[in-house]
Amino acid sequence: MSTSEELRKRYEAAFMPNYGVPPVALVRGEGCRVWDADGTGYLDLIAGIATSSLGHGHPALAEAVSRQVATLAHTSNLFLHEPEVLLAERLLDLLGAPGRVFLTNSGTEANECALKLAIKYGRTTGRGYLVAAENGFHGRSMGALSLTGKHAIREPFGPFGMDVRFVPYGDAAALRAAVTAECAAVFLEPTQGEGGVVPPPAGYFTAVREICDTTGALLVADEIQSAIGRTGAWFAHQHEGVRPDILTLAKGLGGGLPVGACIGLGPAGGLFAKGDHGSTFGGNPVATAAALAVLDTIERDGLLAHVAEVGTGFAAALAAIEHPLLAGVRGRGLWRAAVLTRNGSGAVEAAARTAGFLVNAVQPDAVRLAPPLVITAAELASFTDALPAILDQATKEL
């Protein structure tokens, strides 16, 4: 087997340089731990960017995928199969609302579908522009990127051929001023994930819903990262009792398998006509079987309550740490950011890795912590116990 250094050299020679060269070459995982090609173990506090909901090697996921791939691995959209129907029905049941589902392979594709729905709604109702949030993230394809409010990744690829107006996230007054009867849709994350796990003020989404109802704009909730138990509820918008018109999902839905969904609730579910959208791999039998196993396991094992309980304890333990580099913690459930007093998240990520923990420098002053939903309080405590020394080491590098 190749060493980590050998794999990094081969990676650098074979791949486009957009990711740089990742520092760790992983070869296997079990539960919430992973091992690299040199045999070094780490506690995984990233979970594939809030994706590996059940951790690594979970028997329910392995069994569902193995059974399905041995039975029927692919059909295309020319034929239907029961796992995709079961998944669509299950998602609508969890939402408690009538609607229609389009299954995708990723979050970006789910947001592309939502964008097409919004554009069609706008053209049929005479509405010409969209509203999204500054520092929001919805994907890197050209459509999704047009909605992404991060200047550094958006501007090099513009213009985008559509009118998208950006407002400060969490500012209801700014949103109210931006959304008129000419607005087709508002695209927002219930908490900004790539922005640094930034939650809005309490009541913000209630105000957003009221603004959209008043003006007739569609409310699109991008829950690519925040859904499927990540915050202690099936969907983060449920914390405020607000129902979007369109909901996008991915990441944690498949537990590591590529699957996403765009769900139109109420009238939004009927916007597409035959031929308006499609996907060869979307709703793949293996991916949908994996998603069903994830949903079944979360429900059977009471993981929503577990996430709420251990997530609250985790946040309290982080908040109790006094260190010159640590400003505090934000987020909900098992979706947190350790906020720094100055830019230095890269140094913290590196020091944590040396100490045996995988974390993510999501913003210069914020470290994202999104472990598998099955992580234990004891595993989380091992990180919080080690964090002061990690911060000490990071400070030396700054």
CATH code, 366? 3.90.1150.10
Q: Residue 391 — very low, low, confident or very high, per pLDDT cuts 50/70/90? A: very high
261 and 336, same domain (yes or no): no
In this structure, are 131 and 194 located in the same domain? yes
64 is a domain residue: no
Angle, nearest 10°, between helix axes 377-397 and 303-319? 40
Instruction: Give the length of the chain.
Output: 398
Residue 196: closest CA among 99, 376, 340: 340
Does residue 333 lie in a domain region? yes
Q: What is the pLDDT of residues 139-166, one digit of tens each?
A: 999 999 999 999 899 999 999 989 999 9
| This prediction's pTM | 0.96
For the chain, the maximum distance between any two Cα atoms, rounded to a whole number of angstroms, is 61
Instruction: Give the pLDDT confidence score for residue 316 in this predicted structure.
Output: 98
Domain that holds residue 381: 3-58+302-397
Do 246 and 226 fall into the same domain? yes
Cα–chain-centroid distance for residue 385?
27
Residue 63 inside a domain? The answer is no
pLDDT tens per residue across span 338-386: 999 999 999 999 999 999 999 999 999 999 999 999 999 999 999 999 9
Q: In this structure, is residue 65 part of a structural domain? A: no
Last residue of a domain, one of 281, 301, 321: 301
Tell me the C-alpha distance between 14 and 23, whole Å. 16
Say which DSSP state 241 is in: T
Per-residue confidence band for 1, with pLDDT thresholds at 50, 70 and 90: confident
CA distance 368 to 349: 9
Q: Above pLDDT 70, what percent of the chain?
A: 100
Does 66 fall in a domain? no
387 and 248 housed in the same domain: no
Which residues are annotated binding-site positions for pyridoxal 5'-phosphate? 107-108, 137, 222-225, 280
If asked whether residues 147 and 251 sit together in one domain, one would say: yes
> Using CA atoms, how far apart are residues 327 and 342, in angstroms rounded to an integer?
9
Q: Which helix (H) or strand (E) is 338 found in, with range?
A: strand 335-340
Task: Please list, in sequence order, all residues whose beta carbon lies within 8 angstroms of the beta carbon of residue 130, skipping any fewer than 6 positions away.
Answer: 115, 118, 122, 147, 162, 163, 164, 165, 183, 184, 185, 186, 187
244, 278, 301: which is the final residue of a domain? 301
Residue 24 shares a structural domain with residue 148? no
The answer to whether residue 167 sits within a structural domain is yes
Percent pLDDT > 90 in the chain is 99
**232 conformational bin, left if phi > 0, alpha if psi -120 to 50, beta if neither:** left
In this prediction, residue 303 carries a pLDDT of 98
Handedness of CA 287, 51, 250, 104 (dihedral sign): negative
Residues in binding site: 107-108, 137, 140, 222-225, 279-280
Asked if residue 194 and residue 80 are part of one domain, the reply reads yes
Query: Which CATH number does the domain housing residue 217 bear?
Result: 3.40.640.10
For residue 91, the SS3 value is helix
| Residue 346, in any domain of the structure | yes
Q: What is the pLDDT of residue 113?
A: 98
- Measure the CA–CA gap between 92 and 97, rounded to whole angstroms: 6
Residue finishing a domain among 301, 322, 346: 301
Question: Measured between alpha carbons, how far is 218 from 20 in angstroms, rounded to an integer?
Answer: 38
pLDDT on residue 78: 96
* Count of the separate structural domains present in the chain: 2
b/e per residue 115-151 (b: at least 16 CB within 10 A): bbbbbbbbeeeebebbbbbbbbbbbebebbbbbbbbe
| Residue 48 and residue 78 in one domain | no
User: Would you give the end-to-end CA distance of the chain in angstroms?
Assistant: 36
The CA distance from 384 to 390, in Å, is 10
Specify whether 257 is located in the same domain as 352. no
Q: Check whether residue 188 and residue 94 sit in a common domain.
A: yes
- pLDDT score recorded for residue 329: 98
pLDDT at 251 over 80: yes
Residue 103's H or E segment, with its range, is strand 99-104
Q: What's the CA gap between 309 and 331, in Å, rounded?
A: 14
Cα atoms found within 13 Å of the Cα of residue 334, Cβ hemisphere only: 38
Strand partners, 56: 31
- Structural domain includes residue 138: yes
Residues placed in the known binding site for N(2)-acetyl-L-ornithine:
140, 279
> Coil, helix or strand for 363?
strand
> Which residues are the active-site residues?
137, 222, 251
Residues near 129 by beta carbon (within 8 Å), at least 6 away in sequence:
122, 162, 163, 164, 165, 182, 183, 184
Whether 165 and 284 share a structural domain: yes
What is the per-residue pLDDT across 295-333, written as a single tens digit (0 to 9) for each?
Answer: 999 999 999 999 999 999 999 999 999 999 999 999 999
Residues 288 and 308 placed together within one structural domain of the fold: no
